[in-house]
Amino acid sequence: AFEQGGLGQILVERLKLPKVKPNLTAWENLVQKIKKPAREVDIAICGKYVHLKDSYKSIIEAFTHAGVENDVKVNLHWIDSEDIESNGVADRFADVSGILICPGFGSRGIEGKIAAAKYARENKLPFLGICLGMQCAVIEFARNVCGLKNANSTEFNEDTPYPVIDLMETQIDVSQMGGTMRLGAYACDLTRGTLAFKAYGQETVYERHRHRYEVNNEYVQLLKKNGLKIAGMNPDTGLVEIVELADHPWFVGVQFHPELRSRALRAHPLFRDFLKAALQYQQEKQQKAERAEKALSTSKTLGIG
Protein backbone atom coordinates (compact mmCIF):
# COMPACT_ATOMS: atom_id res chain seq x y z
CA ALA A 1 0.00 0.00 0.00
CA PHE A 2 2.85 2.41 0.84
CA GLU A 3 4.60 1.64 -2.44
CA GLN A 4 1.38 1.98 -4.42
CA GLY A 5 0.84 5.36 -2.78
CA GLY A 6 4.22 6.60 -3.97
CA LEU A 7 5.92 6.71 -0.56
CA GLY A 8 9.07 5.07 -1.89
CA GLN A 9 9.51 7.70 -4.60
CA ILE A 10 8.91 10.52 -2.11
CA LEU A 11 11.60 9.16 0.22
CA VAL A 12 14.06 8.73 -2.65
CA GLU A 13 13.57 12.35 -3.70
CA ARG A 14 13.64 13.82 -0.20
CA LEU A 15 16.73 11.85 0.86
CA LYS A 16 18.40 12.31 -2.55
CA LEU A 17 18.94 8.58 -2.97
CA PRO A 18 19.84 6.87 -6.26
CA LYS A 19 16.73 6.30 -8.39
CA VAL A 20 16.73 2.51 -8.69
CA LYS A 21 13.50 0.57 -9.17
CA PRO A 22 13.29 -1.87 -6.23
CA ASN A 23 12.49 -5.54 -6.66
CA LEU A 24 9.65 -6.09 -4.22
CA THR A 25 8.60 -9.52 -5.48
CA ALA A 26 9.55 -11.34 -2.27
CA TRP A 27 7.70 -8.81 -0.12
CA GLU A 28 4.65 -8.87 -2.39
CA ASN A 29 4.54 -12.66 -2.13
CA LEU A 30 4.85 -12.35 1.66
CA VAL A 31 1.87 -10.01 1.87
CA GLN A 32 -0.17 -12.23 -0.45
CA LYS A 33 0.45 -15.33 1.67
CA ILE A 34 -0.44 -13.48 4.86
CA LYS A 35 -3.69 -12.21 3.32
CA LYS A 36 -4.70 -15.43 1.54
CA PRO A 37 -3.14 -18.51 3.14
CA ALA A 38 -3.95 -21.90 1.65
CA ARG A 39 -4.72 -23.54 5.01
CA GLU A 40 -5.07 -22.92 8.74
CA VAL A 41 -3.55 -24.67 11.75
CA ASP A 42 -4.23 -24.34 15.49
CA ILE A 43 -1.30 -24.08 17.91
CA ALA A 44 -1.43 -23.83 21.72
CA ILE A 45 0.97 -21.44 23.44
CA CYS A 46 1.36 -22.46 27.07
CA GLY A 47 2.91 -19.90 29.39
CA LYS A 48 2.36 -17.84 32.50
CA TYR A 49 2.33 -14.36 30.93
CA VAL A 50 -0.39 -15.12 28.37
CA HIS A 51 -2.63 -12.29 29.62
CA LEU A 52 0.02 -9.88 28.31
CA LYS A 53 0.65 -11.33 24.88
CA ASP A 54 3.35 -8.80 24.02
CA SER A 55 5.52 -10.73 26.48
CA TYR A 56 5.82 -13.27 23.66
CA LYS A 57 5.96 -10.82 20.74
CA SER A 58 9.00 -12.46 19.13
CA ILE A 59 7.32 -15.87 19.29
CA ILE A 60 4.15 -14.48 17.69
CA GLU A 61 6.22 -12.94 14.88
CA ALA A 62 8.18 -16.17 14.40
CA PHE A 63 4.89 -18.02 13.89
CA THR A 64 3.86 -15.43 11.30
CA HIS A 65 7.13 -15.97 9.41
CA ALA A 66 6.82 -19.76 9.59
CA GLY A 67 3.19 -19.55 8.56
CA VAL A 68 4.14 -17.66 5.41
CA GLU A 69 6.76 -20.25 4.52
CA ASN A 70 4.19 -23.04 4.97
CA ASP A 71 1.42 -21.00 3.29
CA VAL A 72 -0.74 -21.38 6.38
CA LYS A 73 -2.56 -19.12 8.83
CA VAL A 74 -1.53 -19.90 12.40
CA ASN A 75 -4.33 -19.62 14.95
CA LEU A 76 -2.74 -19.21 18.37
CA HIS A 77 -4.59 -20.51 21.44
CA TRP A 78 -3.29 -19.00 24.68
CA ILE A 79 -3.17 -21.42 27.62
CA ASP A 80 -2.33 -20.15 31.11
CA SER A 81 -0.12 -22.75 32.78
CA GLU A 82 -1.53 -21.76 36.18
CA ASP A 83 -5.02 -22.68 34.97
CA ILE A 84 -3.72 -26.15 34.14
CA GLU A 85 -2.40 -26.42 37.69
CA SER A 86 -5.82 -25.47 39.09
CA ASN A 87 -8.10 -27.35 36.71
CA GLY A 88 -5.98 -30.00 35.00
CA VAL A 89 -5.22 -30.54 31.33
CA ALA A 90 -8.72 -31.93 30.54
CA ASP A 91 -9.50 -31.15 26.90
CA ARG A 92 -7.49 -27.93 26.63
CA PHE A 93 -5.36 -29.33 23.81
CA ALA A 94 -8.03 -31.42 22.09
CA ASP A 95 -8.49 -29.00 19.20
CA VAL A 96 -4.87 -27.98 18.54
CA SER A 97 -2.23 -29.58 16.34
CA GLY A 98 0.83 -28.51 18.31
CA ILE A 99 1.98 -27.17 21.67
CA LEU A 100 4.67 -24.56 22.32
CA ILE A 101 5.79 -24.11 25.93
CA CYS A 102 7.15 -20.64 26.48
CA PRO A 103 10.31 -19.41 28.19
CA GLY A 104 10.19 -17.68 31.56
CA PHE A 105 11.61 -17.54 35.09
CA GLY A 106 10.40 -18.55 38.53
CA SER A 107 8.27 -21.35 39.94
CA ARG A 108 4.79 -19.92 39.24
CA GLY A 109 2.91 -22.06 36.72
CA ILE A 110 5.73 -24.59 36.34
CA GLU A 111 3.70 -27.71 37.15
CA GLY A 112 1.18 -26.65 34.52
CA LYS A 113 3.92 -26.46 31.91
CA ILE A 114 5.19 -29.87 32.98
CA ALA A 115 1.66 -31.29 32.60
CA ALA A 116 1.43 -29.78 29.11
CA ALA A 117 4.74 -31.40 28.13
CA LYS A 118 3.44 -34.74 29.41
CA TYR A 119 0.28 -34.38 27.33
CA ALA A 120 2.31 -33.67 24.18
CA ARG A 121 4.61 -36.64 24.84
CA GLU A 122 1.84 -39.13 25.57
CA ASN A 123 -0.46 -38.01 22.77
CA LYS A 124 2.24 -37.69 20.09
CA LEU A 125 1.30 -34.04 19.64
CA PRO A 126 3.99 -31.89 17.93
CA PHE A 127 5.88 -30.00 20.61
CA LEU A 128 8.37 -27.15 20.79
CA GLY A 129 9.78 -26.15 24.19
CA ILE A 130 11.84 -22.97 24.41
CA CYS A 131 14.36 -22.38 27.23
CA LEU A 132 12.28 -23.03 30.38
CA GLY A 133 9.84 -24.93 28.16
CA MET A 134 12.61 -27.35 27.25
CA GLN A 135 13.61 -27.69 30.91
CA CYS A 136 10.02 -28.55 31.86
CA ALA A 137 10.01 -31.27 29.21
CA VAL A 138 13.22 -32.74 30.66
CA ILE A 139 11.78 -32.67 34.20
CA GLU A 140 8.59 -34.39 33.00
CA PHE A 141 10.58 -37.06 31.17
CA ALA A 142 12.80 -37.68 34.19
CA ARG A 143 9.80 -38.08 36.51
CA ASN A 144 7.49 -40.16 34.35
CA VAL A 145 9.77 -42.10 32.03
CA CYS A 146 13.02 -42.45 33.98
CA GLY A 147 11.21 -43.03 37.29
CA LEU A 148 12.96 -40.18 39.12
CA LYS A 149 10.09 -39.20 41.39
CA ASN A 150 10.22 -35.53 42.42
CA ALA A 151 12.90 -34.71 39.84
CA ASN A 152 13.06 -30.96 39.42
CA SER A 153 15.17 -27.91 38.76
CA THR A 154 17.11 -26.40 41.63
CA GLU A 155 15.59 -23.10 40.52
CA PHE A 156 12.26 -24.33 41.90
CA ASN A 157 13.38 -26.81 44.57
CA GLU A 158 16.91 -26.60 45.93
CA ASP A 159 16.35 -29.84 47.87
CA THR A 160 15.12 -31.97 44.97
CA PRO A 161 16.61 -35.47 45.16
CA TYR A 162 17.12 -35.45 41.37
CA PRO A 163 18.32 -32.04 40.12
CA VAL A 164 18.03 -32.78 36.41
CA ILE A 165 18.16 -29.02 35.80
CA ASP A 166 20.81 -27.11 37.70
CA LEU A 167 23.21 -24.18 37.67
CA MET A 168 26.50 -24.78 35.93
CA GLU A 169 29.28 -25.47 38.42
CA THR A 170 31.03 -22.24 37.40
CA GLN A 171 27.91 -20.22 38.28
CA ILE A 172 27.11 -21.58 41.72
CA ASP A 173 29.22 -19.06 43.64
CA VAL A 174 28.03 -16.04 41.64
CA SER A 175 25.74 -14.03 43.90
CA GLN A 176 24.11 -11.65 41.39
CA MET A 177 21.40 -13.16 39.16
CA GLY A 178 22.58 -11.21 36.12
CA GLY A 179 26.07 -12.53 36.63
CA THR A 180 24.92 -16.12 36.25
CA MET A 181 23.18 -15.50 32.95
CA ARG A 182 24.36 -17.22 29.80
CA LEU A 183 23.72 -14.39 27.37
CA GLY A 184 24.24 -13.94 23.65
CA ALA A 185 24.99 -16.23 20.73
CA TYR A 186 26.64 -19.61 21.34
CA ALA A 187 27.60 -22.43 19.01
CA CYS A 188 25.56 -25.62 18.91
CA ASP A 189 26.82 -28.81 17.25
CA LEU A 190 23.92 -30.82 15.85
CA THR A 191 23.61 -34.60 15.82
CA ARG A 192 23.04 -36.13 12.40
CA GLY A 193 19.77 -38.00 11.95
CA THR A 194 17.84 -35.75 14.33
CA LEU A 195 14.89 -33.46 13.66
CA ALA A 196 17.10 -30.49 14.48
CA PHE A 197 19.74 -31.49 11.93
CA LYS A 198 17.03 -32.02 9.31
CA ALA A 199 15.60 -28.56 10.03
CA TYR A 200 18.88 -26.65 9.94
CA GLY A 201 20.63 -28.76 7.30
CA GLN A 202 24.09 -28.09 8.77
CA GLU A 203 26.34 -29.37 11.53
CA THR A 204 26.92 -26.20 13.56
CA VAL A 205 24.54 -23.32 14.24
CA TYR A 206 24.65 -20.25 16.45
CA GLU A 207 21.67 -19.38 18.62
CA ARG A 208 20.94 -16.72 21.23
CA HIS A 209 20.65 -17.53 24.93
CA ARG A 210 19.26 -15.86 28.03
CA HIS A 211 19.11 -18.23 30.99
CA ARG A 212 20.83 -19.37 34.17
CA TYR A 213 20.03 -23.06 34.47
CA GLU A 214 21.09 -26.00 32.30
CA VAL A 215 20.38 -29.69 31.84
CA ASN A 216 22.50 -31.42 34.50
CA ASN A 217 25.07 -33.53 32.64
CA GLU A 218 25.13 -36.03 35.53
CA TYR A 219 21.73 -37.28 34.33
CA VAL A 220 22.33 -37.20 30.57
CA GLN A 221 23.22 -40.89 30.22
CA LEU A 222 20.13 -41.98 32.16
CA LEU A 223 17.92 -39.69 30.09
CA LYS A 224 19.41 -41.03 26.86
CA LYS A 225 19.03 -44.64 28.03
CA ASN A 226 15.30 -44.06 28.43
CA GLY A 227 14.76 -42.48 25.01
CA LEU A 228 15.69 -38.80 25.26
CA LYS A 229 17.89 -37.80 22.33
CA ILE A 230 20.58 -35.18 22.73
CA ALA A 231 20.26 -33.47 19.36
CA GLY A 232 22.55 -30.51 19.99
CA MET A 233 25.40 -29.60 22.35
CA ASN A 234 27.68 -26.65 22.92
CA PRO A 235 31.14 -27.74 21.69
CA ASP A 236 33.05 -25.71 24.29
CA THR A 237 31.15 -26.59 27.47
CA GLY A 238 29.46 -29.88 26.59
CA LEU A 239 26.13 -28.41 27.71
CA VAL A 240 22.90 -29.76 26.25
CA GLU A 241 21.26 -27.33 23.84
CA ILE A 242 18.60 -29.44 22.08
CA VAL A 243 16.64 -32.52 23.16
CA GLU A 244 14.21 -34.73 21.23
CA LEU A 245 12.19 -37.88 21.86
CA ALA A 246 13.12 -41.10 20.12
CA ASP A 247 9.54 -42.41 19.82
CA HIS A 248 7.70 -39.20 18.91
CA PRO A 249 6.91 -37.72 15.46
CA TRP A 250 8.12 -34.20 16.37
CA PHE A 251 9.13 -33.30 19.92
CA VAL A 252 11.92 -30.73 20.24
CA GLY A 253 13.16 -28.74 23.24
CA VAL A 254 15.80 -26.03 22.89
CA GLN A 255 17.75 -24.20 25.58
CA PHE A 256 18.11 -21.12 23.38
CA HIS A 257 15.63 -18.67 21.84
CA PRO A 258 15.07 -19.51 18.15
CA GLU A 259 12.37 -16.86 17.85
CA LEU A 260 15.03 -14.14 18.11
CA ARG A 261 16.64 -15.21 14.83
CA SER A 262 13.49 -15.54 12.77
CA ARG A 263 12.95 -13.02 9.97
CA ALA A 264 10.02 -12.11 7.73
CA LEU A 265 11.68 -13.51 4.60
CA ARG A 266 13.61 -16.23 6.42
CA ALA A 267 11.53 -18.15 8.94
CA HIS A 268 13.47 -19.94 11.65
CA PRO A 269 13.89 -23.59 10.58
CA LEU A 270 12.59 -24.98 13.88
CA PHE A 271 9.39 -22.92 13.74
CA ARG A 272 9.02 -23.81 10.06
CA ASP A 273 9.35 -27.55 10.69
CA PHE A 274 7.22 -27.40 13.84
CA LEU A 275 4.35 -26.08 11.71
CA LYS A 276 5.02 -28.73 9.06
CA ALA A 277 4.67 -31.40 11.75
CA ALA A 278 1.50 -29.74 13.08
CA LEU A 279 -0.01 -29.73 9.59
CA GLN A 280 0.83 -33.41 9.20
CA TYR A 281 -0.75 -34.18 12.59
CA GLN A 282 -3.85 -32.21 11.59
CA GLN A 283 -4.16 -34.05 8.28
CA GLU A 284 -3.79 -37.48 9.88
CA LYS A 285 -6.33 -36.56 12.57
CA GLN A 286 -8.83 -35.46 9.92
CA GLN A 287 -8.28 -38.62 7.89
CA LYS A 288 -8.80 -40.76 10.99
CA ALA A 289 -12.05 -38.93 11.77
CA GLU A 290 -13.24 -39.39 8.18
CA ARG A 291 -12.49 -43.13 8.29
CA ALA A 292 -14.38 -43.46 11.58
CA GLU A 293 -17.35 -41.56 10.18
CA LYS A 294 -17.35 -43.71 7.04
CA ALA A 295 -17.20 -46.90 9.11
CA LEU A 296 -20.10 -45.70 11.26
CA SER A 297 -22.13 -44.83 8.17
CA THR A 298 -21.43 -48.25 6.65
CA SER A 299 -22.44 -50.06 9.84
CA LYS A 300 -25.72 -48.13 9.96
CA THR A 301 -26.41 -48.97 6.32
CA LEU A 302 -25.82 -52.66 7.00
CA GLY A 303 -27.87 -52.52 10.19
CA ILE A 304 -24.91 -53.34 12.41
CA GLY A 305 -24.72 -51.92 15.94
Residues labelled catalytic: 131, 257, 259
Which amino acid is present at 170? T
Residue 11 φ then ψ, to 5°: -65, -40
How far, in Å, CA of 174 to CA of 206, rounded?
Answer: 26
How far, in Å, CA of 266 to CA of 304, rounded?
Answer: 54
Using an 8 Å Cβ cutoff, are 118 and 136 in contact?
A: no
Residue 79 φ then ψ, to 5°: -115, 120
**What is the maximum span of the chain, computed from C-alpha positions, in angstroms?**
81
Which amino acid is present at 264? A
How far, in Å, CA of 125 to CA of 221, rounded?
Answer: 25
Give ∠ CA 196-211-173 in degrees, rounded to 5.
Answer: 130
Using an 8 Å Cβ cutoff, are 292 and 113 in contact?
A: no
Residue 249 CA: distances (Å) to CA of 70, 110, 126, 281: 18, 25, 7, 9
How far, in Å, CA of 99 to CA of 91, rounded?
Answer: 13
Using an 8 Å Cβ cutoff, are 101 and 137 in contact?
A: yes
How far, in Å, CA of 215 to CA of 93, rounded?
Answer: 27
Judging by beta carbons within 10 Å of its beta carbon (0-12, 13-18, 19+), is residue 158 exposed, middle or buried? Answer: exposed
Judging by beta carbons within 10 Å of its beta carbon (0-12, 13-18, 19+), is residue 88 exposed, middle or buried? Answer: exposed
